[in-house]
Amino acid sequence: MLPTMSEVRVSQPHNVSVDDARARIQSFEEMIKKYGVSAAWSGNQATLKGTGVSGSIAIHPKSVDVVVKLGMMARALGVDAAKLESSIKKRLQAAFAPA
């Protein structure tokens, strides 16, 4: 029997303030909105919700952690966890690249 949920975890180290990290993560938020996923912020934590997708963003003093859980619906639509993880890593690396 297949597991009902796949989980993608990405941690991006950074050397900026928490406020700057929050500002930089906005480009990632814009990208996930294109896929119908919204982020509801409370302090330095966000809850991610979308069709067949849930998860979180946590901004820490030295890292940003993103967790995306793919439910059966997302997997049925062909969402590949490995490709998603690669895309998240690329977006976060770009957001936190030195200027």
Where in the chain are the domains?
A: 6-95
pTM of the model: 0.88
- pLDDT of 4: 55
- The topology under which CATH files domain 6-95 is TATA-Binding Protein (3.30.310)
Residue 63 forms beta bridges with which residues? Answer: 13
pLDDT by residue (tens digit) across 44-99? 999 999 988 999 999 999 999 999 998 887 877 787 888 989 999 999 999 998 86
Locate all alpha helices (DSSP H) within the chain, ordered by sequence: 18-24, 26-33, 72-76, 81-95
- pLDDT of 56: 97
Residue 7 forms beta bridges with which residues? Answer: 69
